[in-house]
């Protein structure tokens, strides 16, 4: 966990409930979730005003090309980084979390 509190959920609905319990500093999401896609989760997540500043990292077994996700959509959904699991080390993921956590703190200060 590298000093981070982590909530692990397996469905989009549980993700929304977990975020509602404690507003996260960063969300790491898989595109292939049970019941809904990670993109559907992000649309719902972003519909809540309190969570619009929360940076999102996609960590998926699916490449953006396979999921037909383009840069415009990722930007609109507030995706700060997209990592393809087979090519992403834990060190790289943790560096991304640290980077976007700093971004999140800056955005909260602007609100």
> pLDDT tens digits, residue range 54-73?
999 999 998 877 877 788 88
Question: What is the value of pTM for the model shown?
Answer: 0.84
> pLDDT tens digits, residue range 3-52?
677 888 888 889 899 999 988 889 999 988 888 888 899 999 999 998 98
| CATH assignment, 12-110 | 3.40.50.2300
**67-76 burial: b if 16+ Cβ within 10 Å, else e:** bebeeeebee
Query: For 29, which DSSP code?
Result: E
Residues 60, 30: contact at Cβ < 8 Å? yes
């Amino acid at each position: 966990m590298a000093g981070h509190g982590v909530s692990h959920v397996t469905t989009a609905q549980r993700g929304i409930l977990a975020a509602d319990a404690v507003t996260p500093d960063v969300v790491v999401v898989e595109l292939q979730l049970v019941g809904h896609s990670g993109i559907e989760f992000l649309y719902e997540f972003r519909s809540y005003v309190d969570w619009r500043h929360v940076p999102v990292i996609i960590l998926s077994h699916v490449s953006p090309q396979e999921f037909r996700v383009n840069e415009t959509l990722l930007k609109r959904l507030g995706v700060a980084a997209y990592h393809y699991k087979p090519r992403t080390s834990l060190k790289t993921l943790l560096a991304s979390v640290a980077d976007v956590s700093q971004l999140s703190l800056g955005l909260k200060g602007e609100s």
